[in-house]
Structure 1
């Protein structure tokens, strides 16, 4: 019997005209920082999820322009998650806290100067972007803790 495929999540990496990356802070748990994104719903594609999550979380319409990376998040005693991070640009709207029950803050951060704690998929994508890599496919081991349990 084979194991079920990993759960999927998708996020969008947005960069402004100053070269800063939009990061959002969770309003729950350890309040990790990450990219606008979330779980891919049943029947939805990762591309569709990234666009939907940008609209729901930060109130902007985005165009996806490429794949930063596909990251298989493993370890830490949690189920594997397949995370897709897409490069995008804002088509309409100004980023704002559109889902205060999910997010407590947003910030435009210079590349390499991001807040902590940072979600493993966001960290992997930002490291790859900073190194000039796109279209990355790799496994990421979780080394952060959520409620005292490694993530």
Structure 2
């Protein structure tokens, strides 16, 4: 139901209004996951450019930290296809090489969560959608910004050990 509402909002609402509503939608989703306890699955994309820099972004909702591109898996969607879709929708980027590198079993918003880690490359410059993503930049792996979320830190460490 939440996905349907989000899809309608993207088609109907101008970007500034959609962006302003994202924090409320995020809080509702967080509470729903905690209440339902239903297992969820998503992808996190470790996206690098030709220089080996890692793409990080800031969302219009949630904590004010740098995160990874990604999102929720749709029914019958492969993690690789989900990664391609999410990066295209949020950043206007077409991925070159896409490779599943593992999963992390964790708890997010009080519900079991399977995070599929996807390594990918691109030669394109990100163009944030202005709805979910407000900023996106490449960083050298040894010079990542201080304000990384805990989830992002765990996923980058897993990528470094598995890739």
- TM-score, L = length of structure 1: 0.72
Larger proportion of helix: 2
**Offset at residue 129 of structure 1 (A):** 3.3
Deviations 1:95-119 (A, max 9, x none): 111x211012111112143231425
2:39 matched to which residue of 1? Answer: 6
Whole-Å Cα distance in 2 between the matches of residues 22 and 34 of structure 1? 9
Bigger Cα Rg? 2
1:53 aligned residue (56, 74, 86):
86
1:114 matched to which residue of 2? Answer: 144
Larger proportion of strand: 1
1:104 aligned residue (105, 112, 134):
134
- Report if aligned partners of 2:117, 2:159 keep a CA contact under 8 Å in 1: no
Change (3 A) 1:6 1:107: same
Whole-Å Cα distance in 2 between the matches of residues 87 and 62 of structure 1? 10
1:95 aligned residue (102, 108, 126):
126
- TM-score, L = length of structure 2: 0.67
Where does structure 1 lack aligned partners over 5 or more consecutive residues? 135-151
- Report if aligned partners of 2:48, 2:121 keep a CA contact under 8 Å in 1: yes
2:27 matched to which residue of 1? Answer: none
1:84 aligned residue (113, 116, 131):
116
Whole-Å Cα distance in 1 between the matches of residues 158 and 120 of structure 2? 15
1:35 matched to which residue of 2? Answer: 68
